[in-house]
Structure 1
Amino acid sequence: MKSLTKKLRDTMIAGIIFLLPILVLVVLANKVLLFFTGLTSRFAAMFGLKSFLGVSGGTIAGAIGLLLFILFCGYLVRVAFFKQITNWVDNKLSAHIPGYSIYREMAMSKLVEKEEVLPYQMAALFPSDGKFVPCFVMESGNNGEVVAFFPSAGNTKEGSIQLVPGSLLRKLPETDMRKFRQAIDKNGIGLMEAIK
């Protein structure tokens, strides 16, 4: 009973820690929108916008004002001085808010499409029960052993890591690792072309 209570308590704490940054962002966004709504409601009334489709004119003008402010801040970040300020704030938030850097990287990966750096040295095939299993060479040791990553079919981000004799591997140094990885992600479709 005590272990169940402890697991439940730990799970509740983990849930709170997970939701806390999201809740803070929602509350901040709400406060900023209310601030802009208060500022822009006079402008909306001045232009005769009382409501549109049941939404008050102040809210519409506040949302437009917020979007313009975000756009303005986006241009400011391109200036070197403001970029340094942004980096300083990011470092402080990373140091003081648990999990901030993880959430930031998740958000940035969705916003900015950059080419992912693959941590593999090369693609390879490992013999197993008369067939070859696709894998990636992560490191090569001085004694001829190799750290190999064996991805799961359909998901190259999960799998197993094994220390194997390098002499058993059929190394594919000329193979395009992106095509090789994509073929594994597609459950093997395109693998034959990738290893040519």
Structure 2
Amino acid sequence: MKKFLLQAERNLISGALVLLPLLVFFILLGKVWKFFQNYGEKFAHFLRLDLILGKYATDIVGGMILVVLIYLSGFLMRLSILKRFTNWVDEKLMIFLPGYEKNKKEAEEKLLKRNHEPKPVTDLPILFKNGDFWQPAHLIEEDENGSAVIFIPNAPAKDQGQILIVKSTDFKKLSDTTLGSLDASIKSFGKGILSFK
């Protein structure tokens, strides 16, 4: 009976961890869509589209405003100030929304496959072999000759540290670990690193 209760508890916790990011995503999506529907309704009424298309005019015009805004944002992303701001927002979302980084990476991979662009190897969590011990680090770049550029952060700051050029045999990739998890561990002076894989 005790084993069954432990298993049930684990399943409930795992289920909550899976559903929580989805729930947050759909709540945010609903709020964003409602925002664009409000403006879509105003524009549809102004252009008299609501007389032609009826209640669907709000959704159509709201969707068109959203698409135009996304398209214009693509041009704005070329500005370095906006790109830094977007990266800052990404970092905060990785901390406060569980599963955000994983979902973002999956979306980027799908876009890269659609555009037939090879995915660059940038900023992956690794453990660097330094003598008899291992250090958490970021894999920045890797080439075919077996050389790699890595960044070793100084705890607790994740954006200050050393840049080293090493051999690919001197580190192991943490394929099941996200950068957000690694950075959070570095901020807390290594707490949780032993469970990284």
- With the shorter chain as reference, the TM-score category is 0.5 to 0.7
1:107 partner letter = A
**Within-5 A mapping of 1:152-163:** none
Task: Indicate the residue corresponding to 2:118 in structure 1.
Answer: 115
Distance 2:51 2:17 in 1: 39
Task: Indicate the residue corresponding to 1:19 in structure 2.
Answer: 19
Unaligned runs of 5+ in 1: 123-137, 141-196
Instruction: Tell me, yes or no, if structure 1 residue 102 matches structure 2 residue 102.
Output: yes
Task: Indicate the residue corresponding to 1:65 in structure 2.
Answer: 65
1:45 partner letter = H
TM-score (norm. length: structure 1): 0.54
Task: Indicate the residue corresponding to 2:6 in structure 1.
Answer: 6
Q: Deviations over 1:92-131 (max 9, x none)?
A: 2223333322222111111123425799x89xxxxxxxxx
Q: Alpha-carbon deviation of 1:35?
A: 1.2
Unaligned runs of 5+ in 2: 122-141, 146-167, 171-197
Cα distance, 1:48–1:116 mapped onto 2, change above 3 Å: closer
Distance 1:62 1:116 in 2: 33
Q: Which range moved further: 80-89 or 17-26?
A: 17-26
1:65 partner letter = I
Distance 2:20 2:52 in 1: 34
1:59 partner letter = D
Residue-pair matches, total: 126
Q: For residue 50 of structure 1, give the secondary structure of its aligned residue in structure 2.
A: helix
Q: Alpha-carbon deviation of 1:53?
A: 7.0
1:73 partner letter = S
Which of structures 1 and 2 has the larger relative contact order (alpha carbons within 8 angstroms, sep 6+)?
2
Q: Deviations over 1:72-97 (max 9, x none)?
A: 22222221111001111112222333
Q: Alpha-carbon deviation of 1:139?
A: 5.3
Identity %: 32
Q: Does the 8 A contact of 2:112 with 2:118 survive in 1?
A: no
